[in-house]
A and B are shown apart, each in its own frame.
Chain A
Amino acid sequence: MKTLFKPAALAAAATALLPHAAVAQSFDEKVNAAFASSTGWFVNLIFSPFPGTTFPWIVMWLVIAASVFTLYFGFIQFRAFGHSISLVKGDYSDPNDAGEVSHFQALATALSGTVGLGNIAGVAVAVGIGGPGATFWMVLAGLLGMASKFTECTLGVKYRNEYADGTVSGGPMYYLTKGFAERGLPGGKILAVMFSIFCILGAFGGGNMFQANQAHAQIANVVGDYPGVITGVIFAVIVGMVIMGGLQSIAKVTEKIVPFMGVLYVVTALIIILMNYDKIGWAFGQIFGGAFTGLGVAGGMVGALIQGFKRAAFSNEAGVGSAAIAHSAVKTKEPITEGYVSLLEPFIDTVVICTMTALVIIISGQLVADPATGIYMLDEGANTIKTVGDNKGVALTSAAFSSAFGGFQYVLALAVVLFAFSTMISWSYYGLKAWTYLFGEGKGKEMTFKGIFCVFIVIGASASLGPVIDFSDAAIFAMAVVNIFGLYFLMPIVKRELDSYVARLKSGEIKRFK
């Protein structure tokens, strides 16, 4: 009984600490209502289905693109996998370039921007709505997405700006303008501007509000419910100190802890899976069975597919263009090498980490199925699957992990907060790059963006999951609309780079140093 009361007592303490908690509660509600009504049209536009179907066109857009790149580059994600690993290990790095950004560093930084709540909370959302079958489609989307990432990151390096003072800036806004100009195509500049606008929205959405929202959900899950605005303000102050106050040291510490949290997360998941080794076969049965039948989830097979594809894209950002910004700082004479390296990103993010989350949720039996038919039971009035403790989002993942290791929710809460923080730092940078592309560089302009970014943290932590996740998805997918459109026109350039590189690799002109 004592433990049962603990969260409530903590919540009461939190309320007592904040005399205006009642006001704050209604502030949360106000933010929620205002936010949902002001972003609804944008969300509807991005997620509108093909006429006569329930299939959102944007999901098709991403999957078709990933499939086109996969075929166009001859299944590069499978052919190049070994070479990608060699590049990351530094086998082809000139020792004289030591001290410059290595392939490993570019990959690690890009990964810390993508590995985050998408892998923990996003997967839980997908499995909670689409059932275990969503995992199958998520992994497939992850594998295909490797080709999209390959394409965009090669271009990111090829068309980056190198300034006289030695700094570099790259990303879709640069390759869309320069690449289109090089091919003699019109409209590159317009695409770059559109991309930048959506990138700023994406930075506020998936890169910020979704993170703040789920970090708050996870903390509240551990200590008891309290107004989200408190978490929001604390996060905003810390992020503000880093990006506005120049306290890079905080970010540096996080950058070093996050990879270890990631490893810890995967290892824990593996242990839980191995502890239930007798259920592994069953879990895969559920994943494959659910992929094609839906096992009773809302929307059936298509529902599972949409959820799987959506969450994969949201998690690994393949085709979105964000990673091209982070990857473009690498030191290499061959832009294509960064393409090779970047294709490992969706693999690690989606095929490995997301799958772990999904397997743990399925194996720990969080989803309630009718024992007689094996069909999943739906929550009344909602189209989500009934779960053991009525959990959704990050709380579902937390419950699944805690069912095997009591107390893991505390470790997970810490991981979630750190992942959220590092993703916010990365996205504040992506957003800033787009902002300065639009408005030019300058201390005042940059501070304006950073200030707005911090305000959105508070909004994100205060609003409820539904509207935040919708807007976050919509903004990030809007980036993909512009980016992928551009990639179709620029992919012959990547092909040329690839052919030339492979030929020189074969002839021995590209030297191996190790």
Chain B
Amino acid sequence: MSHTIIVGYDGSRGSESALAFAEKQAKASGASLVVAHVLEWSPYSFLTPQELEERHKRRGEELARAEEAILAPAVKRLAKSGIEVTTALKYGNIAEVIIDIAKNEKAEMIVIGRTGHSGLSARLFGSVAGTMAQAAPVPVVIVP
């Protein structure tokens, strides 16, 4: 039977380590990989009328950029390894969305990196890992 490993990936150094770790695990156990990228988003934020008007357009641009700059290079690199790789690109709260993906994919493990690429990400990391540890239905591996 096939296993699935979810790896949270945002292009940062920490997430590179997570990806490398997940790749090794997947190779060893014959699992498939889901590379997940989440664009931080709250439906309860406040926007100006101008931003409302352009939101749909901006969303398209943001998705295209994330696909091109973050997910595509990761998939390209994994292609050599022979692992079955799919991607997931979503908006929302990082921890909640990754947990949702794990549930939907019936994943056996979630792998995330330890630090983002800025102080802000580092601060956010606390809440992401915290929420994951509390709420994830499967084991979570935090890669340093």
A interface vs B, CB < 8 Å?
A: 90, 93, 95-96, 98-106, 108-109, 112-113, 165-169, 248, 251-252, 255-256, 258-259, 325-326, 329-331, 425-426, 429-430
A248 near B48 with CB under 8 A, answer: yes
Contacts of A90 in B (CB 8 A): 43
A109 near B48 with CB under 8 A, answer: yes
Contacts of A330 in B (CB 8 A): 52
User: Would you list the 9 A-B pairs with minimal beta carbon distance, nearest first?
Assistant: A166-B57, A99-B91, A102-B43, A98-B91, A329-B52, A429-B49, A255-B46, A99-B59, A166-B56
Q: List 13 A-B contacts (CB under 8 A).
A: A98-B90, A99-B91, A105-B47, A108-B47, A167-B57, A168-B56, A252-B51, A259-B46, A326-B49, A329-B52, A329-B56, A426-B49, A429-B48
A102 near B91 with CB under 8 A, answer: no
Known contacts A252-B48, A425-B48: A93-B56 contact under CB 8 Å: no
Contacts of B90 in A (CB 8 A): 95-96, 98
Contacts of B92 in A (CB 8 A): 95, 98
Contacts of A101 in B (CB 8 A): 47, 52, 55-56
B52 near A100 with CB under 8 A, answer: no
Known contacts A104-B44, A165-B57, A166-B60: A99-B52 contact under CB 8 Å: no
Interface size on B, as a range, is: 20 to 34
- Chain A CB count within 10 A is highest, among B39, B91, B92, for B91
A498–B92 Cα gap in the complex (Å)? 30
Known contacts A100-B56, A167-B53: A105-B43 contact under CB 8 Å: yes
Known contacts A90-B43, A255-B46: A248-B51 contact under CB 8 Å: yes
A429 near B50 with CB under 8 A, answer: yes
Contacts of B59 in A (CB 8 A): 99-100, 166
Residue B105 interfacial (CB < 8 Å): no
A430–B47 Cα gap in the complex (Å)? 15
Contacts of B60 in A (CB 8 A): 166
- Shortest Cβ distance from residue A323 to the other chain B in the assembled complex, whole angstroms: 11
Closest A residue to B52 using CB positions: A329
B52 near A326 with CB under 8 A, answer: yes
Closest B residue to A98 using CB positions: B91
Contacts of A426 in B (CB 8 A): 49
Contacts of A259 in B (CB 8 A): 46
A73–B91 Cα gap in the complex (Å)? 36
A425–B49 Cα gap in the complex (Å)? 8
- Chain A CB count within 10 A is highest, among B39, B48, B60, for B48
A113–B48 Cα gap in the complex (Å)? 10
A167 near B54 with CB under 8 A, answer: yes
B43 near A104 with CB under 8 A, answer: yes
- Shortest Cβ distance from residue B5 to the other chain A in the assembled complex, whole angstroms: 22
- Shortest Cβ distance from residue B90 to the other chain A in the assembled complex, whole angstroms: 7
Contacts of A100 in B (CB 8 A): 55-56, 59
